[in-house]
Structure formats: C-alpha cells, structure tokens
Amino acid sequence: MPDQFKYDPFSEETLADPFPFYEKLQDSCPVHLHEEFLHPLYTLTKYEDVSEMLTNFDLWSSHYGQMPRYSVQGCLFSDPPEHTWYRKLIQQSFAPRHVAAMEPEITALVKELVDVMEEEKTNDLHDALACPLPVLVIAQILGIPTEDINQFKEWSDAQLAASKSPNADDSKAPRDAMNQYLLGQLNLRRELLRASGYNEEDIADKSTLLGNVIPDDVISGILIAEVDSRMLSDTERLVMLNQLLVGGNETTTSLITNLFWRLLSERSLYEQIVDDPLLASIAVEESLRYDAPVLGLYRTNTEETSLHGVTIPERSKVMATYGAANRDPAVFNDPNKFCLDRPPEELRKHLAFGLGRHFCPGAQLSRLEAKLALEEISMRFPNLQLVGPPERIEPFLLWGRKELLVSWD
C-alpha cells in the first residue's frame, strides 16, 4: 500500500476544511484506508476512480447503503433493476419540464422570503432564505403541509448528524418519528379514496385520481403506484419518502450558502454577478464543482478489487469523494480557484450530483432554486457584505454553512 499520511475523515481538522487533505490524498495516497471505525473505510479521491465507482454498479453496489455503516435501505439506495423501478415512480415530479413549470412559483417564493428578510432586517442568509426555500419547495412537491416543515427539518437534520456515528440507533428516533408522520399522511389519502368509493389496490385507471380524489403530489403518487406489477408496501413507501425528504432539502441549502459564501468572500466575484445577472447559472455550476454540497457517498464492492497497488477486500465500504474529484487537476484547470469564466466543457464534468444510474433526481430543481436566489439577492442587495467567517454544518458527508451573516446598505 502507498505510504499513508494521517487522515481521519471524522476529525475536527478534516471537517473544518477537507480540501487540503483531498489534495494530499490525490498526490500520495489515492486509495486511503481508515481503520478507526467499526470496520475499515476506504477513500477514493481521483476523478477517474470516482467516476468508475459511480457508473460500474456491478462492482460498486449501493445495496448496503451509502453511509459508512452497513445498512440495507433499498428503494432509491438499491441497485438496478430494483433501483430503476423505484426511480421511475418519482421521475415525473423532478423531470426538467416539470421543474421548468415550477419556476414562476419558486420565483414568487424567493421574492416573498427576501421581502421578509429586508423588512425584518434579518442578517442570516441561511435562516432567511437558504434553509426555508428548499424545505418549502420539497414539501410542496411531496405534499407536506407548510405548517409542518420546521418539524421535518429537525428530523432530517438529526438523521444526517447521526451519519458518522458507529451506532445505528442514533438515527432511529428521528427516523421513526418522521415515518410515523408520513404514515399518517398516507392514511389521510387512503381515507379520501375510501370516502369516494375507491380502494388503493383495486383501481383500474389510477392516474385520474391525482388532483381529483387525492392531492396531486408525490405522497399520493407513491400510495397508488405499482412496481413490477405490484403495489408498494408501506415500508417501501416510507423508505422512499424519507430518502426524498432528507436528501431534498439540506443539499440545496448547502449549495446556496456555499455559493454566497464564496462570492462574498472574494467580493469582485459578487460584483460580476451584480453587473451581469446572466452569470448566475455559471456561478451555480462553479459552486457545485468547487464546493460540492455532498462531499461523497459510500459504495460496497461486490468482489475483491485492486486500485493503485491497493487491494480492497470484497464487501468493503469505500467512499466516492465528489469533493476531491471535482478538484482533480487532471480534469480541471487551476482546480482550487473559483472561476466565473471556467470553460463550459469543464463545468459539465463536475460530479456534485453523482453520475450514472444514481444521478441526483433533484439536480435541476436544486440548480433552479440556487440560481433564482442569487438573481434576486444580487438585484436587491448589490452592496451585500459578508460579516465574519461562517461555521460549517455538522454532517461529515455534507459541506455547507450553518449560518451566513451578511449586511447591506
């Protein structure tokens, strides 16, 4: 095995800024072994290796979960062909055409949140916009009442915070609480069906029910959906909804906070956006490359494999490190610089949303929310300033700001 320097993915030093460690790993230890967990954890950092992990699902399986612990979750965290069936159930809700149709509504929501921020002189961009916007949007898509979103945010954050714990029970209480609530939402829709003389299992043309008998949202769609000519179990429904809710808000919040953090830290970048709003989309893509909201996820190899002279035993937990791959100098010119003039062919290569069959279904929605937020803020507050260094969020697999204090004239 190549010489290893001290690297602990869970240490305070790594959590504060993992990118210098990633650079050293790429240079001297592209396959790193961490042995101070319940079981060995491997880390891959080179773009070529991470890309191969994300596309070769025969070798790199999601069956045992995408977190450090072994956990068979199934549904969206499964392998083809099962994963393909489950993904089809949500594709329409996150399809580019559907996301584009939501733009006026999301624009109005952004304006409303920024109005409140300005009127109340709220100086935390995280609390005023970056946090509530994605939560409100994903709650609407899934069918969660607005008055319940703060509770959902707490449950989601608690599950993510427990991702690095070797004890699986640490995430059980918030997951169970969320599932109990979601089961109640499923049962409300069952009651609506029965009141109209329908049974979820005995409906010939189920598409006519959405928007007529039950709400046209993801919870309703999952309730009446079939996978491989069978109805889903409630267990499957709850797993899918939990995965969507947890994955659908914090990552976009991190994208938005990272985006403003970098632009305001080097204020000439923000001034370019103010002068030319068309740069907003480019800024979002460069932020995704430079500060991947998800630093990486784990896969499990189905057979023994060797990379860079290192043998990885069968069924090892291996991290595909998006944050490192996105700054690989073999792929990106001047990778540790945030550039608004980076060539489009480079920007298109970033792995912030993954690659292949598990490419994030909410990628277009996340991009749209961040772009609209940047356009509105830069128009309303051209003199926006960063107030002090922001603190990062706690989940070790995520990269975002816990708060983002700003001021304006």
- Judge contact between 216 and 210, C-beta under 8 A: yes
Share of the chain above pLDDT 70, in %: 95
Per-residue confidence (pLDDT) for residue 1, from 0 to 100: 46
- Judge contact between 122 and 128, C-beta under 8 A: yes
Angle between helices 250-265 and 132-142 (to 10 degrees): 150
CB atoms inside a 10 Å sphere around CB 199: 9
pTM of the model: 0.91
Binning pLDDT at 50, 70 and 90, where does residue 285 land? very high
* Of the ranges 82-91, 169-178, 276-285, the best mean pLDDT one: 276-285
Per-residue confidence (pLDDT) for residue 4, from 0 to 100: 57
pLDDT tens per residue, range 98-118: 899 999 999 999 999 999 999
The 3-state secondary structure of 235-268, one letter per residue: HHHHHHHHHHHHHCCHHHHHHHHHHHHHHHHCHH
Binning pLDDT at 50, 70 and 90, where does residue 36 land? confident
DSSP reduced 3-state for 79? coil
Residues 123-148 have a mean pLDDT of 91
Q: Structural domains in the chain?
A: 12-407 (1.10.630.10)
- Judge contact between 312 and 284, C-beta under 8 A: no
Per-residue confidence (pLDDT) for residue 269, from 0 to 100: 98
pLDDT of 213 above 80: yes
Binning pLDDT at 50, 70 and 90, where does residue 326 land? very high
Binning pLDDT at 50, 70 and 90, where does residue 358 land? confident
* Gap between the Cα atoms of 65 and 1, Å rounded: 26
pLDDT tens per residue, range 216-232: 998 998 898 877 777 88
